[in-house]
Structure 1
Amino acid sequence: MELTGEFEFGHEDRGEIYDYVERHGSIKPKRLRRALDIDPRAFGHHIAILKRDGVLEEVDGELRVAFEEVDEEEFSAAGVDCTIRGARQEDLTGLVGAIREVAEEGAYIEAETVADVVDHEEVLIRHNELESRVFFVATVEEEVVGWVHLNVPEVGKLRHTARLTLGVLPEYRGRGIGGRLMERGVDWASESDYEKIYNSIPSTNQAAIQFLAGHGWETEAIREDHYKLDDDYVDEVMMARWL
């Protein structure tokens, strides 16, 4: 999955159409036209151009931001058939549930924050002038069992970095799914010309720290007593990997 589309649309109405779709995740064309109060003929013209330019696409009768899809990866994970693919808007509920389950189990604050933001916005993929956000999911029988998420600031001085979170539901660990998700996230970041990925984890989450260290991540800094978990102060371990 690659982010496509620039933020120069050549017409104010096209910019407004894109912004509305991007904020809402997906929307039916008629509802979008009414919300923006654009002349039907002009609206159809703008939509046709945005589709032609690969900025928007229509899926199941709804418009959404277009992405260049990458091949799905299918593999057997210790007897379980698993698929890794780009997340879709319809994965939102299952994905948020998986993130919350992993976050609560291991005090994964960064992931918990991601779940809160996505749940509040009700939009998975973002691509605007301030940030870009993508997810890849691991599914078993179409149920989300793991994810890798990358959030990219569009601010120039940070444009070379991406914040990554990753997790797998407890019952599916030890099957290599987490490693494959990590590879997918790293490949996406590298192919998109990002130079560094980073993450922060409470020091009590030793399993996550060891997992990242085993995949080439290094501890850059430790902020003492940064988190307060169950009335106990816990250090924040700030980790990163250069690509």
Structure 2
Amino acid sequence: MRVGFVIKVQKEFYIRNLRYFIRTAKEEDAKILSEVRLEIDGETENMDREKGEAYIDEIGFKKIIKDDTKSENNLFLVAMVNDNIVGFSRCESNNLKRTSHKVEFGVCVLQEYWGYRIGRNLLNESILWADSKDIKKITLNVLESNSKAIELYEKFGFEVEGVLKKDKILSDGNYYNTILMGRFRNE
């Protein structure tokens, strides 16, 4: 298990008659994570990738989980419904001294499970972890058209730090901006 903050016991949530758990990812989750990520990438244009792009197979996810477990400043969480992974999030740091105070957050949830606060709870658990690790800043990127996500991030104290103009081209043939957001730890 991870040194420092770990969701040692699954945290249970019950929203709109759906019971789910959030816990730290395990290596045995790798195969399902590969499948879930591929499915999520095909469900929405809110992700950086189209379905099948930058594919991570079971071996790749095992390595990510193993590395995250060893790293003091990485966190990989999964959301479980009836023993099935329906979403996940990661906070990833790097080994550079000048940026060791921050992590980058990413989250994805199967569309069937939108509206149950799974993304919100993955974000909240990640913030609690980051604060416990004395991480000063959490960053994320979000497509400008994903207004629900932007609104959620703002509720959690994230603020717009910049805009990457015409950063993504979507299936409608139009270019969209990527919003760069950051949350600074309250001192």
TM range (shorter): 0.7 to 0.9
The structural deviation recorded for 1:114 is 10
- 5 Å-filtered alignment, 1:27-176, equals 70-104=8-42, 105-109=44-48, 116=55, 121-123=60-62, 124-125=64-65, 126-127=67-68, 133-176=74-117
Do structure 1's residue 2 and structure 2's residue 10 form an aligned pair?
A: no
Which residue, out of 136, 148, 172, partners 1:195? 136
Residue in 2 that maps onto 1:232: 174
Task: Map Cα deviations across residues 141-177 of structure 1 (whole Å, 9 max, x no partner).
Answer: 1101121211111110010010001122222222222
Task: Map Cα deviations across residues 6-35 of structure 1 (whole Å, 9 max, x no partner).
Answer: xxxxxxxxxxxxxxxxxxxxxxxxxxxxxx
- State the alpha-carbon separation in 2 of the partners of residues 85 and 3 from structure 1: 15
- State the alpha-carbon separation in 1 of the partners of residues 23 and 70 from structure 2: 25
Cα pair distance change 1:138/1:130, threshold 3 Å = closer
Residue in 2 that maps onto 1:183: 124
Q: State how many pairs are aligned.
A: 181
Deviation larger for 153-162 or 231-240: 231-240
The structural deviation recorded for 1:90 is 1.2
The structural deviation recorded for 1:131 is 9.4
Task: Map Cα deviations across residues 110-130 of structure 1 (whole Å, 9 max, x no partner).
Answer: 898997456672423215999
Letter in 2 for 1:186: I
Retained in 1: the 8 A contact 2:31–2:57?
Answer: no
Residue in 2 that maps onto 1:206: 147
Cα pair distance change 1:163/1:117, threshold 3 Å = farther
Residue in 2 that maps onto 1:242: 184
- State the alpha-carbon separation in 1 of the partners of residues 53 and 136 from structure 2: 22
The structural deviation recorded for 1:191 is 1.1
Retained in 1: the 8 A contact 2:91–2:104?
Answer: yes
Residue in 2 that maps onto 1:215: 156
- State the alpha-carbon separation in 2 of the partners of residues 112 and 159 from structure 1: 32
Letter in 2 for 1:142: D
RMSD across aligned positions (CA): 3.1
Q: Scaled by the length of structure 1, what TM-score is found?
A: 0.64
Retained in 2: the 8 A contact 1:2–1:69?
Answer: no
SS in structure 2 of the partner of residue 90 of structure 1: helix
Gapped runs of 5+ residues in structure 2? none
The structural deviation recorded for 1:232 is 2.5
Letter in 2 for 1:233: Y
Gapped runs of 5+ residues in structure 1? 5-66
Identical aligned residues as a percent: 24
Letter in 1 for 2:165: E
Retained in 2: the 8 A contact 1:2–1:68?
Answer: yes
The structural deviation recorded for 1:212 is 1.4
Letter in 2 for 1:226: D
Higher relative contact order (CA 8 A, sep 6+): 2
- State the alpha-carbon separation in 1 of the partners of residues 135 and 122 from structure 2: 17
Cα pair distance change 1:75/1:122, threshold 3 Å = closer
SS in structure 2 of the partner of residue 121 of structure 1: helix
